[in-house]
Structure 1
Amino acid sequence: MAKPVIVFAGAVYPGQFGGLCDYLRAAGLAETYFLTTPGHQARNAHRGKHILGFRPDGPVTGEQRYYYTAKLERSAHIGRGLLSALQQFQNHKKIDVVVSHSLWGAPHFLYDEIDAAIVSYIEFPSFRAHGWDPAYPPDQSQRMVDRNTEMLNFHQALRSDLVICPSHHAKSLFPEPLQSNIEVQLEGFSFEDTKMPDPKEDPGPLTIGLSARDLSNAKGFDTYVRLVDKLVERGLKANFVALGGSEGSTYGYEQQWVQRKYDGAVASFRDHLLKVYPRAAEVIAFPGKLPYEAFVEKLSGIDIFLYPLRFGVANWGLVEILGRGGCVLAPDRGYPAELIQDDVNGRLLPDDDEAWIDEITALAQDPERRLRYGQAACARARLLYSLQAVAPRYLNLFRLAMDRRQARLRNGS
């Protein structure tokens, strides 16, 4: 079978699917290209001539003209520029599949306009479906904005030849009539430089950490701080570290709540929590949002990872921890149960502080069990989520999209 020509599209590179694009090309499995914005293309030109540029038809950062349709307007700017670039590409080479991020590679202008199967990656359909904490609710304006984003994603789920979601939990957030067009596949990772700890070496002081892109309510950062506060009160001797950014956008509305509560006097949700839990404030280290290499190095120094996720649909953060041999405690609901087998490659716990504290205390005194979980986590992540493992699955999904497109054309739809 001839190698398929696959064009990945996203305003950010490497971002979503950048690693997969490069791997498929380097392994000779497909002829791949990545269309991204000019700045990202220029910064990554050394990676190869397959990194191509497209120019959005207007700004994709900063304020848009109308608050309620800001994300739709941004997506239109991306989609219009993407369409022009793909039409020019088709003048020189036939495209078999276009793989687009639902918002940052918005494909809704491509339907019936280009001669290729269209695959949309949708992380989750909306914040309404994803979930938000009633303690930090969206206001009416935020709910209206979210409905427009949901409308855009539902349209893609209906019109794309295939939609890919990162977890079965994410797929379940879509209306049932749309789920038949959705397949589940988490993206691939590179774990080649992973070094498991040597049990013969002195591990040093126990470190209990949290790792997330953002120190947010959705990622359970407030639960982590509360648990640390209780652990300190009970006299557990350990270092504590929280990796991630404390400001910026999150998957919830807690930052806006902080702004309203303190009228700008407190900068972030993190700073609010440190006022509420002073014992935790004295012991938690905050390295911030680190460059990738520094982040990976920090992971290796954490003995127990708390991942008290409140809302989420699967992302690279938890897989990075597992794939690098982390001992992880996570909730027994949502998507973590798709990645963690309880008492095999981590622990799945109920939403109960005492259950978490009991398990943390027990694991603090049991380095052999921590090592067992970490070794199993590393092995399972490599088996299921390495680029080598996921590449054949993605190719099968892309061929499925091509077949669906051909069937649709035969039926005149």
Structure 2
Amino acid sequence: MDVLFIHNNFPGQFVHMAQAFAQRPGVRVFAVGSPTARPRQGVMLARYPMPKAPPKPGHPLVERFTSDVVRGELAGAAMQRLRREAGCDPALVVGHSGWGETLFARDIFPAAKQVVYSEFFYNYRNSDVGFDPEFPDGGLRTAARIRTKNAGMLTALAAADMGLSPTEWQKRQHPDFLWDRIQVAHDGVDVNAAAPHPDAQFRPAGVDRTFTRHDEIITFVNRQLEPYRGYHVFMRALPEIMAKRPNAQVLIVGGDGVAYGRAAPAGTTWKETYLDEVRGRIDMSRVHFLGQVPKPDFLALLQISSCHVYLTYPFVLSWSLLEAMAAGCLIVGSDTAPVREAIVDGVNGRLVDFFDVVALAETVARTLAERDALGAMRRAARQTALATYDLRVCLTRQMALLDGLLGAQSALEAARPALVPVT
């Protein structure tokens, strides 16, 4: 049996599923990805080239769909190459729908069961766009752009047998007529690597000090320091937090770029923009910007954290929050829908209104003051991670869903007329 994964940055979210199939006797695993895709043992990878110049759409509002179609064609050519050169004939195709790569998979492999990873469906209301009044949404033009931005994902889902979303909230961002087609199965995190360690130590590069759990440490982690992940709110709360907690050290992890949302004004970064707002009101000797750190350093940072702050717009939930839970961190999070799916206020963490700088400062300071009495909250956070987000638990569910599709396919094969692929 052949299985094909499609992801521009393979393996991406498919790393554990691909490995699980590769370990099965008699299963060949193939993958299609862009030049950034990375080879994995037991997987035959075909990369497609990126276009030398972005395509020119006929209308500005279909720019994203035009790009998706171009990627779909390039990925489709890579699929045909795998079929021609390696005899790839998948019973199952699993692909990420976010960049257009799966658009024509059904036409190339019509007999295969098709699964699309439905990570995020864009909405003009009750989602990330327009959530933050500091960044006006742009009105009808923005609404139209977002609606057409979903065209590729809708086309992919229409041709799929199943969608996979990592959280219930992400599933329900899709139109309700698609909910029955989309299953919820998180990717999971390594709860053995992200685990409490009473003797953990962390010595950041460029900081002449080693931190332990005996220190009072506030941690804030994101891929990039930007408004989508509440960096501006966190920085505005820092003066009051640091005034209330004169021994606290603040460790901030994240790059200077943008992963989501709009870029900072020309010549600036969001990091510097919001640091400049408070620079004269905080003790910079106690604030440490660490940039992007290696995974072992990130895990050690979680293990010595006294209070971990996680803020986000209504958007994709970060793996870093779940790893912080697995590490038994005391978490203060934003009271936004994705976070509420993982954190129950007062049970396995504390929640505050995303925009309430005063409440954030008070809650972080109170959590630090009470940290020795909050062992039950730490344990509850880890227990949630073990029960719901352990990658072994999640992989078992993912594989059961995929095997269920394959089983249904086998039962129908005898009665189904032969399907001819498009060449």
TM-score, L = length of structure 2: 0.81
Work out whether residues 245 and 365 of structure 2, in 8 Å CA contact, stay in contact via their aligned partners in 1. Answer: no
Change (3 A) 1:281 1:80: farther
Q: Aligned-pair distance for 1:179? A: 1.7
What are the residue-to-residue correspondences of 1:176-195 with 2, within 5 Å? 176-195=176-195
Q: Aligned-pair distance for 1:35? A: 2.7
Change (3 A) 1:312 1:127: same
Show the counterpart of 2:230: 220
User: Matched residues in 1 for 2:412 and 2:226: separation?
Assistant: 44
User: Matched residues in 1 for 2:244 and 2:297: separation?
Assistant: 32
In the alignment, structure 1 segments of 5+ residues that lack a partner are: none
Show the counterpart of 2:207: none
Show the counterpart of 2:128: 131
2:400 corresponds to 1:396: yes
Query: Could you report, residue by residue, the CA deviation over 1:186-244 in whole angstroms, capped at 9, with x for unpaired residues?
Result: 11222333441328996332111211122222211111112212213445431112211
Work out whether residues 20 and 188 of structure 1, in 8 Å CA contact, stay in contact via their aligned partners in 2. Answer: no
2:231 corresponds to 1:232: no
**What SS does structure 1 have at the residue aligned with 2:170?**
helix
Work out whether residues 171 and 184 of structure 2, in 8 Å CA contact, stay in contact via their aligned partners in 1. Answer: yes
Change (3 A) 1:86 1:342: same
In the alignment, structure 2 segments of 5+ residues that lack a partner are: 202-211
Aligned residue type for 1:275: D
Show the counterpart of 1:242: 252
Show the counterpart of 2:273: 272
Work out whether residues 79 and 108 of structure 2, in 8 Å CA contact, stay in contact via their aligned partners in 1. Answer: no
Work out whether residues 304 and 370 of structure 1, in 8 Å CA contact, stay in contact via their aligned partners in 2. Answer: no
Show the counterpart of 1:79: 72
User: Matched residues in 1 for 2:257 and 2:88: separation?
Assistant: 43
User: Matched residues in 1 for 2:10 and 2:200: separation?
Assistant: 41
What are the residue-to-residue correspondences of 1:135-154 with 2, within 5 Å? 135-139=134-138, 144-154=144-154
Change (3 A) 1:193 1:233: closer
**What SS does structure 2 have at the residue aligned with 1:85?**
helix
Give 2:303's match in structure 1, choosing from 300, 305, 308. Answer: 300
Mean CA deviation greater in 17-26 or 298-307: 17-26
Identity percentage of aligned residues: 20
Show the counterpart of 1:15: 12
**What SS does structure 2 have at the residue aligned with 1:53?**
strand
Give 2:89's match in structure 1, choosing from 80, 89, 94. Answer: 94
User: Matched residues in 2 for 1:245 and 1:294: separation?
Assistant: 15
Q: Aligned-pair distance for 1:383? A: 3.1
Show the counterpart of 1:345: 348
The number of residues matched between the two structures is 395
Change (3 A) 1:78 1:204: same
Q: Aligned-pair distance for 1:411? A: 10
User: Matched residues in 2 for 1:412 and 1:33: separation?
Assistant: 23
User: Matched residues in 1 for 2:32 and 2:317: separation?
Assistant: 25
Mean CA deviation greater in 32-41 or 161-170: 32-41
Change (3 A) 1:192 1:237: same
**What SS does structure 2 have at the residue aligned with 1:128?**
coil
**What SS does structure 1 have at the residue aligned with 2:105?**
coil
Q: Aligned-pair distance for 1:303? A: 1.7
Show the counterpart of 2:117: 121
Structure 1: 4+ residue segments shifted above 6 A: 27-30, 199-202, 403-409
TM-score, L = length of structure 1: 0.83
Query: Could you report, residue by residue, the CA deviation over 1:19-62 in whole angstroms, capped at 9, with x for unpaired residues?
Result: 33224434779654433234534xx4xx4141412314635xx7
Work out whether residues 120 and 162 of structure 1, in 8 Å CA contact, stay in contact via their aligned partners in 2. Answer: yes
Show the counterpart of 1:285: 288
Q: Aligned-pair distance for 1:120? A: 0.9
**What SS does structure 1 have at the residue aligned with 2:252?**
strand
Query: Could you report, residue by residue, the CA deviation over 1:122-164 in whole angstroms, capped at 9, with x for unpaired residues?
Result: 2211253532323213447665543332122222233311111
Work out whether residues 200 and 304 of structure 2, in 8 Å CA contact, stay in contact via their aligned partners in 1. Answer: no
Q: Aligned-pair distance for 1:402? A: 4.3
Aligned residue type for 1:237: N
User: Matched residues in 2 for 1:335 and 1:190: separation?
Assistant: 20
Work out whether residues 54 and 81 of structure 1, in 8 Å CA contact, stay in contact via their aligned partners in 2. Answer: no
Change (3 A) 1:355 1:24: farther
2:64 corresponds to 1:65: no
